[in-house]
Amino acid sequence: SKTKFKKLVSISGLMEKTLKSGSTGSEVIENPILSNFKSGLNVLDYFISTHGARKGLADTALKTADAGYLTRRLVDVSQDVVISEEDCGTLRGIATTALKDNEDVIEPLADRIEGRTSLHNVYHPVTDELIITAGEEISSDDAKAIEEAGIETVEIRSVLTCESKRGVCVKCYGKNLATGYLAQRGDAVGIIAAQSIGEPGTQLTLRTFHVGGVAGSASVESGLHAKFDGTIQFDGLRTVETLNNEGNKVKIVIGRTGEVRIMDVKNDRLMITNNVPYGATLSVKDGQQVKKGDVICTWDPFNNVIVAEQNGKIRFENVIDGITYRDEADEQTGHREKVVIETKDKTKIPTIIVDGKEIKQYNLPVGSHISVEEGDEVKAGQVMVKIPRVLGKLRDITGGLPRVTELFEARNPGNPAIVCEIDGVVAFGNVKRGNREIIVESKDGMVKKYLVPLTRQILVQDGDFVKAGTPMSDGQIAPADILAIKGPFAVQEYVVNEIQEVYRLQGVKINDKHIEVIVRQMMKKVEIVDAGDTKFLEEDLEDRFDFIEENDRIYDKKVVTDAGESTKLKAGQIITLRELREENSILRRADKKLVQVRDAKPATATPVLLGITKASLGVQSWISAASFQETTKVLSQAAIQGKTDAMLGLKENVITGHLIPAGSGQKEFENLIVGSKEEYEVLATTREAMSFDDEE
């Protein structure tokens, strides 16, 4: 590989120290190795590089066990996913775009849609020529044609939206990557998926590494350029006008949710939408014509800023030397400025107040540099505070295997971001015990309150309009929050993309569909909120299809509230309308009291995201669950509930020594009728030959 070649010909560089098992973080040995493997190492270099080699070996030994266990859990959760039908007939799919990190394309659209099935007809945007019909497999030529046509989004069929009751269908799965042809009925795609994800697990790193989160990618970007020719449209941009260093008038963005769109006015088509960050300087006006490559706005790539929203006089509150800030000199310029430090006294929150038409206050997060003095007159749009970007983001990112496990087990991260649940306007409340209260009020008057610890960086400002799902503090978003706020599809997409991100950092390519198969298994259950008149219990986890089936069963049925003088029916019984009519007509003839009924109430439920271990233990087959983990518990529960095992998965059939229901072992091939005697004899001899081979 590239890195090994580097070691041979360039200097080997710095080595990490080996660590005792309890310590966290990694230290680096100060002396770099200046020689390379081609010209040979001297004694000291050789001694230092043994550190690295030994660490590598010890790591590998520990890693294989972890990766093996991950594979086992993945196989267990997805073993019964087999291709069961040609087409499940769903009308849903997922919208796929090229994966981008800012402007860099990480994975082009063609790579992501090749071998999948298109949900709709895809037409060329300019010539209106049909590129691919709905329900057709997208070949590599089709994928290239779609990309060259400039189409940004394609809706494809996906395992995530497949409506097959057992397993998945051919159209939703697409091409079988082992053969290069469309998948066939009976392909054990679940096991293929689990092994495809588990096998490269040994190549992932075990340790958490110090890589800034978003900081790395965000700090490179310092402006936004037009990707197409078109007309600029602003959406929800709050700006103030100010003079720049050259004395020209410029507009500074003071909202965080504003967007700039580029429209093709002739065809009335939206070309692209971009978010404009807070504190950016706009270079275009609303309605202006732009050419491809024109600068739309620029911003400071190294600092987040706090900008004055109005003219006024500066007042400081709780900005105390040595307690909430200290004077630091900039190494390069020698210029002294106040830097906010963390204070033990949680009641003292350093704040800048701008006293103008109205009084506006801005909280200062730890690490921010104050660029103004008390009593200064500021103009709207002037930068008052700079927050270095790297500082806010140098936290350990759990990388490699631990992160993959965290995602597959649907665990919530250590310090999750606080996420807004509704669209609305932000207002800052009081400070309670070291937490800042953030109040979000929607247009229809709904109010939600959140407490954010003051040690965390708050990402919203007073008066901002935020959308549901916007993080209000730094940190990783918990999958449970995404599920609750944005729904099941958003959380499925999030998990797939996050897992891909970990593998991509290590240079491992895995097709999305494998991860989708696993995530589909994690989302199979729903939690019953209200049982209605069904057989379920509240807070029970039930299979999604069982839930729908049970609701369909009691649809249109009636519940007896008063049996009247009927001898056949009892109160609480569920009956059909026909039974009710028949019984009541008999009672009416006999001049007896009639049966009273009400409509049967269906159950309601919410989707849940289960970790792979929990999902494996929750499968319908108790043989499979018992052979995985917690055997006594699974068996005793199955015995109490009097469960029967339908033997539909692969694992339970392997355990009991039956043919597995995949490939030609599927149920419908059990009793084949042979057309002629000759054909039967050929089959019989091959079967005998096969059994004879086995005996040898």
Of the listed ranges 329-338, 516-525, 554-563, the one predicted with least confidence: 329-338
* Rounded-to-integer distance, Cα 44 and Cα 29, Å: 12
220 assigned to some structural domain: yes
Q: Can you spell out the DSSP letters for 341-385? A: ---S-TT---EEEEESSSEEEEE--TTPEE-S-TT-EE-TT-EEE
Kindly give the pairing relationship between strand 369-370 and strand 424-432: unpaired
* Rounded-to-integer distance, Cα 404 and Cα 107, Å: 20
The helix (H) or strand (E) run that includes residue 339 is strand 336-340
Banded pLDDT at 331 (limits 50, 70, 90): low
* pLDDT given for residue 22 in this prediction: 47
Q: Write the burial class of residue 525 (CB in 10 Å: 0-12 exposed, 13-18 middle, 19+ buried).
A: buried
End-to-end CA distance of the chain: 45
Query: What torsion do the CA atoms of 186, 189, 195, 198 make, to the nearest 10 degrees?
Result: -160
603 assigned to some structural domain: no
pTM for the full model? 0.74
Q: How many residues does the chain have?
A: 696
664 assigned to some structural domain: yes
CA angle 298, 300, 301 (to 5 degrees): 100
Tell me the CATH number at 632: 1.10.150.390
* Statement: residue 444 has pLDDT above 70: yes
Of the listed ranges 9-23, 285-299, 363-377, the one predicted with least confidence: 9-23
Tell me the CATH number at 265: 2.40.50.100
409 assigned to some structural domain: no
Q: What is the DSSP letter of 601?
A: P
Q: Which of 164-168, 329-333, 683-687 has the highest mean pLDDT?
A: 164-168
Q: Which residues contact 96 (CB under 8 A, 6 or more apart)?
A: 109, 112, 113, 116, 153, 154, 155, 156
Q: Which residue is it, tokens 């046509």?
A: 149
In the structure encoding, which two tokens stand for residue 429, read together?
């409340």
State pLDDT tens for residues 226-265.
Answer: 877 888 888 878 888 887 777 778 888 887 767 888 888 7
Q: Are 67 and 140 in contact (CB under 8 A)?
A: no
* Rounded-to-integer distance, Cα 289 and Cα 295, Å: 12
The helix (H) or strand (E) run that includes residue 553 is helix 544-553
506 assigned to some structural domain: no
* Statement: residue 421 has pLDDT above 50: yes
The helix (H) or strand (E) run that includes residue 259 is strand 259-264
* Rounded-to-integer distance, Cα 465 and Cα 255, Å: 8
* Statement: residue 606 has pLDDT above 90: yes
* pLDDT given for residue 507 in this prediction: 75
State pLDDT tens for residues 489-535.
Answer: 989 988 998 888 888 877 788 899 999 999 999 999 999 999 888 88
CA atoms within 13 A on the CB side of 611: 12
* pLDDT given for residue 655 in this prediction: 92
Mutual angle of helices 400-408 and 488-505, in 10-degree steps: 160
State pLDDT tens for residues 211-220.
Answer: 333 333 333 5
Q: Is the dihedral of CA 663, 669, 675, 680 positive or negative?
A: positive
Of the listed ranges 97-101, 397-401, 474-478, the one predicted with least confidence: 397-401
Banded pLDDT at 671 (limits 50, 70, 90): confident
Of 301, 334, 350, the domain-final residue:
301
> Residue 33's beta-bridge partner residues?
13
Q: Are 459 and 387 in contact (CB under 8 A)?
A: no
Q: Which domain holds residue 633?
A: 621-696
The helix (H) or strand (E) run that includes residue 75 is helix 43-78
Kindly give the pairing relationship between strand 168-169 and strand 83-85: parallel
Q: Can you spell out the DSSP letters for 415-443? A: SPPPB--S-EEEEEEEEETTEEEEEEE-T
17 or 621, higher pLDDT? 621
* Rounded-to-integer distance, Cα 673 and Cα 680, Å: 9
Which amino acid type is present at position 409? E
Banded pLDDT at 690 (limits 50, 70, 90): low
Banded pLDDT at 396 (limits 50, 70, 90): very low
**Mean of pLDDT values over 401-410:** 86
Order of strands, sheet of 289-290, starting from the edge strand that comes earlier in the sequence: 269-275, 259-264, 230-235, 289-290
Of the listed ranges 159-173, 268-282, 511-525, 541-555, the one predicted with least confidence: 268-282
281 assigned to some structural domain: yes
The Cα-based distances of 541 to 403, 521, 551 in angstroms read: 26, 14, 15
Q: Write the burial class of residue 331 (CB in 10 Å: 0-12 exposed, 13-18 middle, 19+ buried).
A: exposed
* pLDDT given for residue 190 in this prediction: 92
State pLDDT tens for residues 455-485.
Answer: 777 777 666 778 888 888 877 788 988 899 8
Of 274, 301, 328, the domain-final residue:
301
Q: Let me know how many helices (H) and strands (E) the chain has, helices first.
A: 19, 36
* pLDDT given for residue 324 in this prediction: 81
* Rounded-to-integer distance, Cα 359 and Cα 353, Å: 7
* Statement: residue 3 has pLDDT above 80: no
534 assigned to some structural domain: no
* Statement: residue 432 has pLDDT above 50: yes
- Within 83-142, strands assigned E span 83-85, 94-97, 99-101, 104-107, 122-123, 130-132
> Residue 173's beta-bridge partner residues?
none
Of the listed ranges 201-205, 493-497, 672-676, the one predicted with least confidence: 201-205
* Statement: residue 632 has pLDDT above 90: yes
Q: Tell me the average pLDDT of the chain.
A: 81
* Rounded-to-integer distance, Cα 520 and Cα 489, Å: 10
Number of domains in the chain: 2
State pLDDT tens for residues 27-63.
Answer: 566 667 677 667 777 787 777 777 767 766 776 777 7
Kindly give the pairing relationship between strand 303-307 and strand 383-388: antiparallel
**Mean of pLDDT values over 664-692:** 78
SS3 content of the chain, % helix, strand, coil (to 5): 30, 25, 45
Note the maximum CA span of the chain.
111
* Rounded-to-integer distance, Cα 623 and Cα 135, Å: 38
Of 245, 271, 301, the domain-final residue:
301
Banded pLDDT at 191 (limits 50, 70, 90): very high
Q: Which of 66, 77, 52 is nearest to 202 (CA)?
A: 66
In the structure encoding, which two tokens stand for residue 461, read together?
């400002």
* Statement: residue 669 has pLDDT above 90: no
Q: Residue 136: how many CB atoms within 10 A of its CB? A: 14
663 assigned to some structural domain: yes
